[in-house]
Amino acid sequence: MLIVEELHMLLLRPDGRVESAVSGNRLYGEVAAVLVDLALHGRISFSHEKHPTVDIVLTEPTGNPILDTTLQRLVPMRGKRLQSLVVSPKLDPLEVVVESLVVQGVLVRGERGFFGWGSERTPESDPAPELVLRSRLAAVLAGTGAPTQADLSLLSILQNLNAARAILRAECGDISARDLKKRIEQLTAGSPAGDAVAKAVNDAIAAAMVAIMTPVIVAATIT
């Protein structure tokens, strides 16, 4: 299962709605996750500049509809800064991710909101994959399991969305939000595998979040 698919499972409540902690930021996390997936599959690379850009390494299809759809959308955007791509609705993988999870039997298509308005709900049909994933992340946070690149990417993305503590309540135990942040930073800093990819994506999400939150902070200060 791709990192973006695992992230989507974490961000959904059992009733098929996105967790309130990330309701406004889901896009940034899932775009970042699918870009990590593409990088790990050798299709894109990130420059080593302070504000990294994204280049296409291979346009050959992977055979995975999520990766191939995103890659096609990304081709005309090659050379753009990662920070701008993370916030681009054009790269939102939501539809293909949901379709993939439905095909796998993890999610099922449900109803929309009142009177057919609102987005379609996709409640959980098979809880087993998410339970395995959460058990894996709990072991990583507790230090009893060796983290994979997927684990580190998921933890980093959740932390950069300021949602790690809210999404991983049970897996964190009594760890405070501050200690959880330190723990995730410790884990990601100590991993030699994929550091360049992780750092580039983490920096992009962090910068995007600052850009998004700054107007809100300024408005609050003025009022």
Query: Which tokens in the block code for residue 108?
Result: 């099922």
Using CA atoms, how far residue 195 sits from 134, 188, 223, in Å, is 23, 8, 41
127 part of a folded domain: yes
Sequence-distant (6+) residues with CB within 8 A of 154 are 3, 6, 7, 10, 33, 137
**Cβ distance 202 to 158 under 8 Å?**
no
Whether residue 219 lies inside any domain: the answer is no
Indicate whether 205 belongs to any domain: yes
* Domain assignment of residue 53, yes or no: yes
Query: For the whole model, what pTM was predicted?
Result: 0.87
Summarize pLDDT for 13-30 with one digit per residue, the tens: 988 889 998 988 899 999
Domain range holding 36?
3-111+119-214
| Strand ranges (E), the chain | 44-46, 54-56
The residue ranking higher by pLDDT, 120 or 31, is 31
- Structurally, the chain folds into a number of domains equal to 1
Does 220 fall in a domain? Answer: no
Q: Check which CATH number belongs to the domain holding 166 and give it.
A: 1.10.3630.10
Question: Is residue 144 a part of any domain in this protein?
Answer: yes
pLDDT in tens, 199-215: 666 666 666 666 555 44
